[in-house]
Structure 1
Amino acid sequence: MKAVQIMSYGAADVLRVNEVDRPAPGAGEVLVSVEATSVNGHDVIFRTGELKIVSGRRFPIGTGLDFAGTVAETGADVQGYRAGDRVWGIVHPRQRHVTAGAAEYVTVAANRISHAPAGLSSVGAASLVVAGATALIALRDSVHVAAGERVLVRGAAGGVGTAAVQLAHAMGGHVTALARDHHAELLTGLGADEVLDYRSTTSDRIGPFDVIVDTVGTELHRYRGRLAKGGRMVTVGLSLPALAAIAASSVHGPRRIRTFSANPGSALLSDVADHVTSGALRPVVDSMYPLAEIAAAHEAFERGGAVGKHVVTLSA
């Protein structure tokens, strides 16, 4: 089978589409025929070697954190899934040797998948797995958005941002989206009550907000200052400056900046699927690439400016 592998740490040109043996599911695992995957920040960080303390120096390393497809085979002790079921899921971050989600087949623990929403294409599903799960954890589990609260979403046009705008709206929040002004029509259609151009809007001239969801990872201390009394802020755009701001906020003042390690399982993925089924969450896809052009998809991700997700397809 074909699988994308990282042959050394570096730029996108270290990615190769290689022929490898098709894996077999072990006990408690499912073999999925992958139809689509997306490019996530986690994939880029692994490829560049920023997380080599986790991924090590043994090559090749698989890439592709998420996937959507159909069950090809189940291992022993797997219940609730059978061949032909449409599923989506997330590869465990440590499952990075040889192959991962960017491959024709992937084996994954059954507790890391759920049934994909009916009627959603594989491309749409792949665009929402990580983005939808991350946004739901941030809004529901980290900052506990309540109806009527004022919510700011930074980086609102990206994959997590577009999901966060939709979910915050569905939870009854009054949503302000911070993005480029030419994304205003799209973001309003997703549920934003107002859209501000981040290039001409300074943090000291907006708010205060009850909740801030940050997907950028910069100037966190400035935006933290725009929280109302009792306000909460969460960031998913991690960087060294962001980690420093998070640490400082836990010491100085009550409005600490929160973050989390998104490692969702079946229950959370089923919750995301429910939001899709209810109409509260829909995919936003910036571009699609065939597997052979996954390096171009990584390069597009790193350039930034995407509206939604870059998706890599493995089937027609």
Structure 2
Amino acid sequence: MKAAQITSFGTADVLRINDVDRPSPGAGEVLVAVEASSVNGHDVIVRAGELKMVSGRRFPIGAGLDFAGTVAATGGGVESYRVGDRVWGMVHPRRRHTTAGAAEYVVVSTDRIAHAPADLSSVEAVSLVVTGATALIALRDSVHLVGGERVLVRGAAGGVGTAAVQLAHAMGGHVTALARDRHAEFLADLGADEVLDYRSTTSDLIGPYDVIVDTVGTELHCYRSRLAKGGRMVTVALSPSALAAIAASSVHGSRRIRAFSANPGSAVLRDVADHVTSGALRPVIDSVYPLADIAAAHQAFERGGVVGKHVVTVPRGSV
């Protein structure tokens, strides 16, 4: 099969499409014929060598955290999935993979997948695997958003940001989106009550907010100061500077900066699918690349200015 692999740590140029053996599912596993993957921050930092403790230093390393496709084979003891079922999921982000989601086939345990929403194509579905799960965990499980609270989403036009705007709106929050002003109409359509241009709006001019969801990872202490009494803040951008700010904020109790590393299992993916089915969450896709051009997709991600997700399609036999 064809698989995108990292051949050394570095820029997007280290990505290659290689011929590798197709894996076989073991007990409790399924083989998924992948139709689409996407580019996530995790993919980029693994490729850059910033997660050597997870990826190790042996090459090649599989590229692609998430995937959507159909079940091609099942291992022993698997009863909840059948060949032909449409599924979505992600490989374990804290384990080393020789091949991963950006490949013609991927083997995963059944606790890493769920049935994909019936009304979404695989390209649409994969755009919500990591983003939808991350936004849901942030709002529901980390800051415990309550209806009527004022919510600031920083980096609102990105993948996690667009999902957070939609879910915060669905949960009854009054949502302020911080993004480029040219995205204002689009973000309002997603559910933002107010859109502020991040280039002309400094942290001291806004707030207070009951909840802040940060996807940027800079100036965290400045934004934390805009929390109302009893307010909560979470960041999903775990850069070295962000980690330092998170640690320093621990003295502020409930108004500290929370963080987590999203590792959603089947239950969270089912919850995300429920939000899609209810109409509360819809995919936002910036651009689509074939597997052969995955390096270009990584480069586009790193340039920024994205609205939603960069998706990678996996056309069988055409790479």
**Does the TM-score normalized on the shorter chain lie above 0.5?**
yes
Following superposition of structure 1 onto structure 2, how do residues 114-153 of structure 1 map, counting pairs within 5 Å? Answer: 114-153=114-153
SS at match of 1:228: strand
Q: Is residue 68 from structure 1 mapped to residue 68 from structure 2 by the alignment? A: yes
Q: Which amino acid aligns with 1:25?
A: P
Are the equivalent residues in 2 in contact too, given 1:217–1:242 (CA < 8 A)? yes
Are the equivalent residues in 1 in contact too, given 2:32–2:69 (CA < 8 A)? yes
CA shift at 1:95, angstroms?
Answer: 4.1
Q: Which residue of 2 aligns with 1:33?
A: 33
More displaced stretch, 203-212 vs 90-99? 90-99
CA shift at 1:237, angstroms?
Answer: 1.0
Between the aligned partners of 1:26 and 1:123, the Cα distance in structure 2 is 27
Q: Which residue of 2 aligns with 1:5?
A: 5
Following superposition of structure 1 onto structure 2, how do residues 72-83 of structure 1 map, counting pairs within 5 Å? Answer: 72-83=72-83
Between the aligned partners of 1:84 and 1:188, the Cα distance in structure 2 is 38
Are the equivalent residues in 2 in contact too, given 1:32–1:105 (CA < 8 A)? yes
State the TM-score, normalizing by the size of structure 1: 0.99
Following superposition of structure 1 onto structure 2, how do residues 189-208 of structure 1 map, counting pairs within 5 Å? Answer: 189-208=189-208
Between the aligned partners of 1:164 and 1:136, the Cα distance in structure 2 is 7
Query: 4+ runs of 1 displaced by more than 4 Å?
Result: none
How many correspondences in the alignment?
316
SS at match of 1:207: coil
Are the equivalent residues in 1 in contact too, given 2:68–2:88 (CA < 8 A)? yes
Q: Which residue of 1 aligns with 2:84?
A: 84
SS at match of 1:9: coil
State the TM-score, normalizing by the size of structure 2: 0.98
Between the aligned partners of 1:147 and 1:234, the Cα distance in structure 2 is 17
Are the equivalent residues in 2 in contact too, given 1:4–1:16 (CA < 8 A)? yes
Are the equivalent residues in 1 in contact too, given 2:231–2:254 (CA < 8 A)? no
Give unmatched runs, 5+ long, in structure 2: none
Are the equivalent residues in 2 in contact too, given 1:59–1:97 (CA < 8 A)? no
Q: Which residue of 2 aligns with 1:212?
A: 212
Between the aligned partners of 1:174 and 1:192, the Cα distance in structure 2 is 8
CA shift at 1:93, angstroms?
Answer: 1.5
Give unmatched runs, 5+ long, in structure 1: none
Q: Which residue of 2 aligns with 1:266?
A: 266
CA displacement, residues 174-226 of structure 1 (integer Å, 9 cap, x when unaligned): 00000000000110000000000000001001010000000000000000000
Q: Which amino acid aligns with 1:97?
A: H
Are the equivalent residues in 1 in contact too, given 2:176–2:196 (CA < 8 A)? yes
Q: Is residue 161 from structure 1 mapped to residue 130 from structure 2 by the alignment? A: no
Q: Which residue of 1 aligns with 2:237?
A: 237
| Distance change >3 Å, CA 97–CA 253, structure 1 → 2 | closer
- Percent of residue pairs bearing the same amino acid type: 82
CA shift at 1:56, angstroms?
Answer: 1.1
Q: Which residue of 1 aligns with 2:284?
A: 284
Are the equivalent residues in 2 in contact too, given 1:63–1:96 (CA < 8 A)? no
Q: Which amino acid aligns with 1:192?
A: A
